[in-house]
Amino acid sequence: MKKKKGYQKERTLSVTYGSRIPKNATHISLSFGGVRDEISVRDGVRRIILAVPEEKRGNMRTLRICARKAVFIARKEGIRMLAISMHEWVARGITPASAARMLGENMMMANYEFIALKTPPKEGWTFINTLIVSGDVVPEAKREFAKGIAIGKWVNRTRTLANTPGGLMTPALLAKQATAFAKEVGVPIKVFGKKDLENMGAGAILGVAQGSVEEPKLIIAEYKGGKKNEKPLVLVGKGVTFDTGGINLKSSDGALGMNMDMSGGAAVLCSLFCAAELGIKKNIVAIVPAVENMPSGSSYRPGDVLRGISGKTIEILNTDAEGRVILSDALTYAKKFNPALVVDVATLTGAACVALGNHASAIFTPDDAIAKKAEVLGEESGDYVWRLPLWEEYEDEIKGTFGDVANTNNKNSRYGGASHAAVFLWQFVKDAGYPWLHIDIAPRMDTVESEHLAKGAAGAPVRMLVRMMEEGA
Q: Which three-class secondary structure state does DSSP give residue 285?
A: strand
Nearest CA to 288 out of 191, 385, 363, 379 is that of 191
The partner residues of 41 in beta bridges, in order of sequence, read 46
Residues labelled as active-site residues: 250, 324
Distance CA 297, CA 170 (A): 20
Nearest CA to 162 out of 360, 445, 449 is that of 445
For 379, other C-beta atoms within 10 Å of its C-beta total 14
Q: Are 144 and 97 in contact (CB under 8 A)?
A: yes
Q: Are 250 and 321 in contact (CB under 8 A)?
A: no
**Containing H/E element for 268?**
helix 263-278
Percentages helix, strand, coil for the chain (3-state, rounded to 5) are 40, 20, 40
Residues 6+ apart with CB under 8 A from 97: 138, 140, 141, 143, 144
Q: Are 363 and 438 in contact (CB under 8 A)?
A: yes
What letter would DSSP give residue 206?
Answer: H
Q: Are 322 and 246 in contact (CB under 8 A)?
A: yes
